[in-house]
Amino acid sequence: MKLLNNLFAYTWNGQDNNCNTYVFANALDNNRHLVIDPGHIKTPSTGEAALERLLSEMQMDGLQTEDVGMVLLTHCHPDHFESARYLQENYQALVAIHEIEGAVYAHYGGTADFLLRDGELKLGKKKPFLLNVLHCPGHSPGHVAFYWAPEKVLIAGDAIFYQSTGRTDLPGGSPDQMKQSILRLSEMDIEVLLCGHPYGHPGIIQGKKDVMENFDFLKQHIL
Amino acid sequence: MTSKKAKTAFELAMEKIDRMPKLDKKEIEKQNKKELAEKSEAIVHRYFHGSLKIQNLEQEISQFDNNEQPMVRKNLLNQLKESIGLIDREMNTKVLAAIQQLDGKVDLVKINSDLDNIILKYQHQRQKEYANLEKEELKQLQKMGIAGSAVAPNIQKSENWLLTEEKLKNQFDQKLVKIREMLP
């Protein structure tokens, strides 16, 4: 589904757990696409063909899967990264994850072509596509969010959901870090908040007012 | 009709033992050596993991038969020496302390200083090579259109780094061999 400009959102609506995927179409050189969190290949409990579904939805939107040129991962959990290797091996897409989680990703059999840290990411040679990488640990030690400044879009991964946050009880998780991360993200100028899962809500919060209300809810009830 | 007395379980077991191939003296010795090596390894493992205190190492050795004790001591010293490495200085200190406990004649001051020297040189060289490679890889990424302060090269997966690291390790491992030779 086209969300705005060249940003497409593929919210997961299957029965099993899987993440939402976001795609910046033609953002890279040679009109290749940038995919954030491609999710599972097949979901673990019900075996739903998640990647097949994602690629088919992208094709319906006119995005050719062989044009996927890069995959950025918000964190190293299989429901976010599993398909990255497929896209890397089949379409020569480059894969990146935060530097803290590069070794964990390798442990799962993945190879990051480069690593991420807090700062600015410039993609493309002639007219670079810019994203801010925000290290926001809590759900996992090397969790990042991506901020697209021109449209004030925050892709929050599993840091923030609608009226909820990501779990902090998984290995490497930390409630204190999660609190600091959410407070940091709440300071940003956000018009569109894109969450990593559709828990009880598609996970797309649009409009500054709704985004702020969601942060206020988290501050009051969860942090 | 002939009557045959049933064999007891003991008799059956003895028959089975009789049928087993007999170990000659050399094989028995080899088997004993292997067992002692495994037991020594377990002692070193317990020492490294904190469940055996340094002052109890001698007591562990004394639990073996008198004729086995020199072999166990030798095994322990060899296994400790092999554990000296280029990364973990704390572990090296622990190893040397145990070696001194088992053989009081070791000049720990000199060996510690030589070892520290090797490790510092190794780490310095390693950091230098790492930084050089990082610069090169960043340039390569820039050529591919990937740049900015958020980009860090994945040096650990770089073949150049694996080769450089192995070369460095081999070079400095040679120096560790000399340290081991200075130890009992």
- Please check whether residues B183 and B121 belong to one and the same domain: yes
Contact A23, A34 (CB under 8 A): yes
Chain B: closest CA distance from residue A118 (Å) = 5
Contacts of A29 in chain B (CB under 8 A): 145
SS3 B150: coil
Q: Around Cβ B180, how many Cβ atoms within 10 Å?
A: 13
- In total, the C-beta contacts within 8 angstroms joining chain A to chain B are 58
Q: Select the residue of A113, A123, A133 nearest B154 (Cβ to Cβ).
A: A113
Specify the number of domains making up chain A. 1
- Please check whether residues B49 and B115 belong to one and the same domain: no
Q: Is B150 part of the contact surface with chain A (CB cutoff 8 Å)?
A: yes
- Please check whether residues B16 and B76 belong to one and the same domain: yes
SS3 A148: strand
Token pair for B104: 């009081």
- pLDDT, average across residues B53-57: 92
**Per-residue confidence (pLDDT) for residue A80, from 0 to 100:** 98
**What's at B114, amino acid-wise?**
D
Q: Is the Cβ pair A122, B146 closer than 8 Å? A: yes
Contact A82, A47 (CB under 8 A): no
- pLDDT, average across residues B72-78: 93
- pLDDT, average across residues B23-49: 89
- Please check whether residues B115 and B149 belong to one and the same domain: yes
Nearest to B71 by CA among B101, B35, B107: B35
pLDDT tens profile B109-149: 888 888 989 999 999 999 999 999 999 999 999 999 999 99
Q: Is the Cβ pair B145, A121 closer than 8 Å? A: no
Q: Is the Cβ pair A102, B141 closer than 8 Å? A: no
Strand pairing report for A33-36 and B146-147 = unpaired
Write the DSSP string, B63-91: TS-TTTHHHHHHHHHHHHHHT--SS-HHH
- Please check whether residues B140 and B181 belong to one and the same domain: yes
C-alpha dist (Å) from residue A40 to A16, A17, A81, A97, B71: 10, 9, 7, 16, 56
In a domain, residue B69? The reply is yes
Chain B: closest CA distance from residue A155 (Å) = 16
Residue B45: pLDDT over 60 = yes
Contact A214, A193 (CB under 8 A): yes
pTM for the predicted model, two decimal places: 0.78
- pLDDT, average across residues B156-161: 89
Write the burial class of residue A115 (CB in 10 Å: 0-12 exposed, 13-18 middle, 19+ buried).
buried
Nearest to A81 by CA among A96, A66, A64, A68: A96
Q: Rounded to whole angstroms, how far apart are CA atoms A223 and A165? A: 9
Q: Around Cβ A176, how many Cβ atoms within 10 Å?
A: 10
In a domain, residue B94? The reply is no
- Please check whether residues B75 and B17 belong to one and the same domain: yes
- Please check whether residues B13 and B57 belong to one and the same domain: yes
Strand pairing report for B151-153 and A114-116 = antiparallel
Q: Is the Cβ pair B154, A122 closer than 8 Å? A: no
Chain A: closest CA distance from residue B134 (Å) = 11
Write the burial class of residue A131 (CB in 10 Å: 0-12 exposed, 13-18 middle, 19+ buried).
buried
CA of B154: which chain A residue's CA is closest?
A114
Query: Among residues of chain B, what percentage have pLDDT more than 90?
Result: 59
Q: Is the Cβ pair B148, A111 closer than 8 Å? A: no
Number of residues written out for chain A = 223
More confident residue, B87 or B129: B129
Strand pairing report for A153-157 and B146-147 = unpaired
Q: Select the residue of A94, A111, A122 nearest B148 (Cβ to Cβ).
A: A122
Write the burial class of residue A107 (CB in 10 Å: 0-12 exposed, 13-18 middle, 19+ buried).
exposed
Q: Is B159 part of the contact surface with chain A (CB cutoff 8 Å)?
A: no
**Which spans in chain A are helix H?**
50-60, 78-91, 102-107, 175-186, 208-217
- Please check whether residues B112 and B178 belong to one and the same domain: yes
Specify the number of domains making up chain B. 2
Q: Is the Cβ pair A116, B141 closer than 8 Å? A: no
Residue B2: pLDDT over 70 = no
What residues make up the domain containing B167?
A: 107-184
More confident residue, A154 or B13: A154
What residues make up the domain containing A95?
A: 2-221
In a domain, residue B157? The reply is yes
Whichever domain contains A174, its CATH number is: 3.60.15.10
In a domain, residue B1? The reply is no
Contact A156, A122 (CB under 8 A): no
Chain A: closest CA distance from residue B155 (Å) = 8
A61 φ/ψ angles, rounded to the nearest 5 degrees:
-90, 5
ipTM of the complex: 0.92
Q: Select the residue of B145, B148, B154 nearest A29 (Cβ to Cβ).
A: B145
**Per-residue confidence (pLDDT) for residue B31, from 0 to 100:** 87
Those residues with Cβ within 8 angstroms of residue B52's Cβ, 6 or more apart along the chain or in another chain: B43, B46, B60
- Please check whether residues B183 and B133 belong to one and the same domain: yes
CA of A28: which chain B residue's CA is closest?
B145
Q: What is the pLDDT along chain A (223 residues), one digit of tens a residue?
A: 999 999 999 999 999 999 999 999 999 999 999 999 999 999 999 999 999 999 999 999 999 999 999 999 999 999 999 999 999 999 999 999 999 999 999 999 999 999 999 999 999 988 899 999 999 999 999 999 999 999 999 999 999 999 999 999 999 999 999 999 999 999 999 999 999 999 888 899 999 999 999 999 999 887 7
Chain B: closest CA distance from residue A41 (Å) = 24
